Structure 1
Amino acid sequence: MRMSLMETEYQDPDRRHLPLDESRLFEITTKAAEHMNIDHDKFLHHLGVEYLKLCLSEYGRSIRMMGSNIVEFLSNLDGLQEQICKSEKFLDQVPPSFRCEYDKNKVTLHFYMERRNLLYFYSGIISGLSEIVFLRDAKVELLRTENSLTTHHIFTIDAAVDSTKIQSQCRICTSQDSLSNNPSDSKIGVSTFCKTFPYHIIFNRKLQITQLGVGLMKTIGKEVLSGEFLFTKYFKVVQPKTDPVTLSALLSRVNFCFTLETKSCYRGSNVLSQVR
């Protein structure tokens, strides 16, 4: 009876984008797990996999364009959700936020969400992404925390690796072993690069500016050359909200489009950029 009411309610096209109440979903899945005599966390995990299949049946092409591997996909997700939430249908919703750290064959996913009762549901979605979309067997594990009020949760994603074979490349992220860190190996000279990309900025791990495009040099070059080289002295990050501005904060939003505003006497000049 309860399930029939839910199906009728959410098959209505005008209600399909409404968020499902967490306590109600938790109650329904608890009853279903008891009826099927399986662990509730496992039930939520399988439900997440089935939910992903449902999304793929309707939005499969768009989902597969989000990245060539699971790290790229999860890193792109916040930027997509930021645009979706501008729609009137989703104005009242607060989607989860993601940040990835990865090493060879292992991803640590920092997951920010208030609905902690549904964490295993999301672990199922992540497993489905790895296995169905990217064709990679992976073990997804939730690292439990003793703080029941935290909104910061951590998943680990481990690739299934054949121990009998030597693995030269990461199976769940993009290998960058072939990329050089030596500027002299670049195929384009600094002068040409600065003219080709007149509004680019390059800074080091301490956020000290090391290179500016010719367009920005005309705007703030004199100040930069005569004073400190600190990025935060000359630019304000307008979008996305980043406070404080640190290297890790910028890297966690690596696939976002950034809007920068120049400070001091050049206040009001906007630059649209993307961290690379």
Structure 2
Amino acid sequence: MNKWEKSVLHEGTDFLVFQSYHDDKTFALVGAVCAVSGIPLDTVLEVFGEYFVQYCFRHGYDQLLRTLGKDFISFIQNLDALHANLQRTYSKLRPPSFRCERKDADSVYLHYFTERTGLHPIVKGVVKVVAREIYNQVAEMEVISISKQQIEGGLDQEHVIFLVKLKDIDKKKILDNCLNVFQSNGSQTSLNTSHFCKAFPYHIVFDENLEIKQCGDMIPKILHMCLKANTSMTTLFDITHPPMKFKLENILTFINSVFYLGVKNNKNAETRLFLRGQMLWIDDLRLMMYVCSPRLSSLLELKQLNIYLSDIPLYDVTRELILLNQQRIAEIDIAKKLDETTAELKITSRLLAEEKQKTDNLLFQMLPQKVADELKNGRTVKAEKFADVTVLFSDIVTFTDIAAACTPLDIVRMLNELYQRFDARTSEHDVYKVETIGDAYMVVSGVPEAKKVHAQPIAKFAIDMIKEASNVKSPATGKPLQIRVGIHSGPVVAGVVGVKMPRYCLFGDTVNTASRMESHGEPGRIHISPTSYSLLKDDHYVFRDRQCIEVKGKGSLHTYFLVGENGRLLSEPEDIFRNLTILKNDIPVNGSVTETVSYDNYNDEITPIKINVVLQDDGQIPRNNSNIVDRETKNLKTRSRTSTMCNLL
């Protein structure tokens, strides 16, 4: 993720080109950039100013900027007019105003007016790039003063004065020494007032008292009135841009700005008429001349204002602008919709990716990831044979009675709580949950990825299952649940069954035998087959020897109860199987001095208790039970609140 993406993420907002944003968001973004980059605020703003000019160059404004002025000063003097034009596209633009005042041949004072305070470092960045890229000059800038300027009738402005020094400057680019030879050609070709007013139908000349001294032929027509001599400008117009009261000193402050005058007598009309033009101060006559044109942007406005194209002089580009703007409006609408659609697509794409991830997670819970990926890619999943796996089945003791005594909703809640606990343990022990049917829970290790060590994870998982089940209470009795667990190891065939609702299933005698181990098991105990026992007996697990039992469909099998591992023994239920021989590393625990531990099911504390056991040979131990261990465990029952286990440490 780059720094811009980090900044947007830090600020929490995405940005569209044709969308306007409150300054709070702009400053928040700038603050985020400062926080991410560690760069001071003024430096970030100045760098942004430099980047902004380059951005404009890359996005089609380079020719416009390079032809804005013949030299640096004329470029700055015409920025206000450029901003006024851009307001047609960006209607909520609040542009600054610029004015140059020459200090000497190599430097100028740059006056910067804005209602948005604190952004003047951007101007430094913009000016430096403009001087370097357009005029091949090096601009050195220094802030001379920053003050608040009160503009009567308008918003308070921040007035910043820069001293701009231009190095290696070609003076011909600044000083225009070419004189107009016709300026002193006498008066024989001078236009009289009548001809002037006809040639320039949209102009107004007024004095220092704002009284009209002269106007073009079209001014009375668009005002729908005959003008009397010395009519005040303020009775006919108000200045809408720059925002200010109609006073001469205000006009002189923003003399480089494009001035918009709104006609007062049609305020209630469907469309108000505005004049757009330039104020020219004629110093020797002490007069101000406003050269303007009707501000029209569409054919619809012409119709609403009852103005025709013929009312606009042929030399006035307003004609072309109206026609071009009609086309531009359509293009902007398309671009804006495209921009918005692109942003929506990005959001939709991100949401789609999130939903796809959720779908994949759900699919991976139903099917192994390897199998799910094959199905997603449209490939057929072939059945696989796994030579060595360990399968576990479990069910809830007296589930039928619980279901009969409780509502279906209570049963669902109980199973959901129990299976959530089991599911969490599957991830911990890296075993695969095959399915749940009612109260039956089936897991396997060694599928879908073959493993050399597969019985041990299942054994650890089974021990945790017994403990987790005791933490869930029966809705019928309020007592902890008991489960039966059966484990068997052997070969299986695994594959996907079904199309509409594909399931990953295991087949083979190993599955049947594991199910038989569970059905022939006992409440609260882990019943394992001789095959699984052979894989676990040397790994510090503790068993009780159940001896041979008749298993449906299997005949006589020598089975075992897994009761724990070193340091982690289960609390055995109070049943007859507590008297069975305890096996550790395939050796009956019946000789020398050993340690017995009691495992408290409530607080998981282990209390060692030493007992003495008479040493006997294996051949002397009866195969049906161990009376030695039985005698010793009887003694221990009075020394612990819970049942006891033997634990060789």
TM-score, normalised on structure 2? 0.32
1:24 aligns with 2:23: no
Q: Deviations over 1:176-213 (max 9, x none)?
A: 98476999597533321112223421123442322222
Aligned equivalent of 2:158, options 134, 142, 152: 152
Aligned residues: 250
Q: Which contiguous aligned blocks of 4+ residues in structure 1 show a shift greater than 6 angstroms?
A: 7-10
Aligned equivalent of 2:109, options 107, 110, 114: 107
Structure 2 match to 1:3: 3
Structure 1 match to 2:241: 240
Structure 1 match to 2:140: 139
Work out whether residues 242 and 260 of structure 2, in 8 Å CA contact, stay in contact via their aligned partners in 1: no
Q: Which amino acid counterpart does residue 203 of structure 1 have in structure 2?
A: F
Three-state SS of the structure 2 residue aligned to 1:158 is strand
Q: Deviations over 1:48-79 (max 9, x none)?
A: 22332122122312333444432233222431
Work out whether residues 141 and 162 of structure 2, in 8 Å CA contact, stay in contact via their aligned partners in 1: yes
Structure 2 match to 1:56: 57
Q: Which amino acid counterpart does residue 55 of structure 2 have in structure 1?
A: L
Q: Deviations over 1:201-229 (max 9, x none)?
A: 112344232222234467433x22xxx44
Structure 2 match to 1:193: 196
Q: Deviations over 1:80-118 (max 9, x none)?
A: 3422332xxxx5xx54421314225413222314351x4
Three-state SS of the structure 2 residue aligned to 1:140 is strand
Relative contact order higher in (CA < 8 Å, ≥ 6 apart)? 1
Work out whether residues 74 and 100 of structure 1, in 8 Å CA contact, stay in contact via their aligned partners in 2: no
Structure 2 match to 1:261: 263
State the Cα distance separating 1:46 from its structure 2 match: 3.6
Q: 1:184 to 1:109 in 2, by over 3 A?
A: farther
State the Cα distance separating 1:132 from its structure 2 match: 1.5
Q: Deviations over 1:17-50 (max 9, x none)?
A: 555631332342365355xxxx764454244223
Aligned equivalent of 2:206, options 187, 203, 221: 203
Measure the CA separation in 2 of the matches of 1:107 and 1:186: 39
Q: 1:23 to 1:183 in 2, by over 3 A?
A: farther
Work out whether residues 107 and 156 of structure 1, in 8 Å CA contact, stay in contact via their aligned partners in 2: yes
1:84 aligns with 2:84: no
Q: Which amino acid counterpart does residue 135 of structure 1 have in structure 2?
A: N
TM-score, normalised on structure 1? 0.67
Work out whether residues 238 and 259 of structure 1, in 8 Å CA contact, stay in contact via their aligned partners in 2: yes
Q: 1:52 to 1:271 in 2, by over 3 A?
A: closer
Unaligned runs of 5+ in 1: none
Identity of aligned residues (%): 16
Q: Which amino acid counterpart does residue 81 of structure 2 have in structure 1?
A: N
1:97 aligns with 2:96: yes
Measure the CA separation in 2 of the matches of 1:257 and 1:128: 28
Work out whether residues 49 and 123 of structure 2, in 8 Å CA contact, stay in contact via their aligned partners in 1: yes
Q: Deviations over 1:145-174 (max 9, x none)?
A: 488xx85041424242669x9x5x672xx7
Work out whether residues 66 and 72 of structure 1, in 8 Å CA contact, stay in contact via their aligned partners in 2: no
1:116-131 map, 5 Å: 116=118, 118-131=119-132
Measure the CA separation in 1 of the matches of 2:136 and 2:188: 34
Worse-matched range after superposition: 238-247 or 54-63 = 238-247
Q: Which amino acid counterpart does residue 79 of structure 2 have in structure 1?
A: L
Three-state SS of the structure 2 residue aligned to 1:54 is helix
Three-state SS of the structure 1 residue aligned to 2:87 is helix
Measure the CA separation in 1 of the matches of 2:66 and 2:191: 32
Unaligned runs of 5+ in 2: 149-155, 280-649
Q: Pick the structure with greater CA Rg.
A: 2
Measure the CA separation in 1 of the matches of 2:218 and 2:41: 58
